[in-house]
Structure 1
């Protein structure tokens, strides 16, 4: 039994297009657009606009998405009559959020249509089927999350880089033969990491170190990563460029307390260990064990630890950068 109702012709359609990833070919924007346009033409409706969100997860509340959210406001609610999507999951994958959208449409006299699933909220059967599919969509989202979590755990256990932003001082490089990624020292960032380590071991307060880095125009790890991602890595601000974030004592503390300084794999702040209890190593260390212990003691307020620390003649990073 079809759940599509015999809605009047000539209504205004808002087409909903969404991709979780811009490279997702199975649900391409073109395919979604063609399906919605074909449905509108078949029922004598007119598409008056497209709410297109790319790289937006189905977990995001429809009211919070950049494009669709702007149409779900009192000011623009009078501009359209039907919200049409290729499938219901293009509107979202959270049952509670979708039911909220269903309620909003009902309160504002709107019809919501899933073109390929023949769901029309103007009928009771359509509303019932939409609720069922919304629950299934949420289950699929949780399955996707679980697969992602399992994949990242497996990568960590095999000491492969799971992706994302590398720790400051490292860069991600292919392992070769399609075996994933690993980390190596970043020749631009390593000298700055060593300078920070030396300054703190020499007794400089974190606030003073941060102030000097800001004055000298050094980018924060977050801003530096942006330049790396853009393919034009730059550790210093360029002439006339405004700083988007500043070094703070907290920034330095997070950097110096990160187990990545030792080259260790870590998850949720804990070092990942093998079956024998040994830390998994993801890259060459940026500090040695004595430096690490001294840094942690200083950061914990035990500044007397500096008196018992003797800098070796050759630091672990010496000679890394020409």
Structure 2
């Protein structure tokens, strides 16, 4: 039961699916409609008049949603064009401040994080890797951009990510790269990672810049030399056990790594990429680990069919991998050491 149609669906297509579901499962749909004085009741055998009324209301809800979306989009575009802050995560190095016009908000340098940006850039030019810089920031308990934003808003740091709760988030090389490559360091308003420009093609400014254009260009050249031209758009993973395999040494996710010249790869602990140090980093051949997980899952779930990654994640399957030992007999090449593996499921199948 819903109070209004738009509490259940926001489009005609969704209403059609809901009505079809009700008929398939012999369920009655009820929309209270307090303004009309009487509810709309859609039984599995509802007549065409009732269905048509539901479709009309769903169409109205769809139009309303589209109107609201367009209005919000236009509002944010206007705020960006005027250099005003429209909400959301503040670029690292800045804080929210009253707009000089007296209406709304803009962004101004945050003395604490702006000084930190300068220090990070000095470390980059000194030849330190982003992983090493991230590790130092974590050891010094410096808040990441998301946590710094929470601090400035008077909210607690940390939150939930990948199904885990964190008191505070940690710096990674990826986080640093995103901060250092953002045109917001030059005081530019950005959208989707790109500079917002006015009708004349000039950058829309959010406030005082942290770096001059020349300083920003020098920094980008330094970062580009480090990447050796290997940066490419991020692609979705096709690895079966991403989000399923975890390292027992640090409880962090394991990720697939390609072995050049081999038909298989490895699942490895990537703690260093998060700016941390794992006391016992684990790794295992991908075909061995995937075969083990699929075998255990099929036995528990009593299925012989294909098992995609989405199903493993939905059913809460987790395999924990312990660190292996060096050396050993040739028998170690015949399959996985299952004594290093722990198979569990956190949700009922």
Shorter-normalised TM range? 0.5 to 0.7
Q: Do the aligned residues in 2 keep the contact of 1:93 with 1:134 (CA within 8 Å)?
A: yes
Distance 1:133 1:242, change over 3 A: closer
State the match for 1:103 in structure 2.
Answer: 20
**Equivalent residue of 2:133, what SS?**
helix
State the match for 1:119 in structure 2.
Answer: 40
- Number of residues of Structure 1 aligned to a counterpart in Structure 2: 215
Q: Which of 132, 142, 145 is the matching residue for 1:208?
A: 132
Higher relative contact order (CA 8 A, sep 6+): 1
State the match for 1:267 in structure 2.
Answer: 191
Does residue 183 of structure 2 align to residue 289 of structure 1? no
Q: Shift of the alpha carbon at 1:303?
A: 9.1
The root-mean-square deviation of aligned C-alpha atoms, in Å, is 2.6
Q: Shift of the alpha carbon at 1:178?
A: 5.2
TM-score norm. by structure 2 comes to 0.56
Distance 1:257 1:87, change over 3 A: same
- Correspondence 1:76-87 to 2 at 5 A: 83=1, 85-87=2-4
Does residue 96 of structure 2 align to residue 172 of structure 1? yes
State the match for 1:90 in structure 2.
Answer: 7
1:5-58 deviations in Å (ceiling 9; x for gaps): xxxxxxxxxxxxxxxxxxxxxxxxxxxxxxxxxxxxxxxxxxxxxxxxxxxxxx
How far apart in 1 are the matches of 2:175 and 2:62? Answer: 37
Distance 1:243 1:297, change over 3 A: farther
1:206-235 deviations in Å (ceiling 9; x for gaps): 11111111122122112222333344689x
How far apart in 2 are the matches of 1:214 and 1:94? Answer: 46
Q: Do the aligned residues in 1 keep the contact of 2:95 with 2:152 (CA within 8 Å)?
A: no
How far apart in 2 are the matches of 1:119 and 1:263? Answer: 54
Give unpaired runs (5+ residues) of structure 2: 159-164, 229-349
1:76-118 deviations in Å (ceiling 9; x for gaps): xxxxxxx1x2211122313333333333333333222222254
How far apart in 2 are the matches of 1:251 and 1:214? Answer: 12
How far apart in 2 are the matches of 1:120 and 1:176? Answer: 55
1:145-178 deviations in Å (ceiling 9; x for gaps): 1111111111111111122111111111222665
TM-score norm. by structure 1 comes to 0.60
How far apart in 1 are the matches of 2:138 and 2:15? Answer: 46
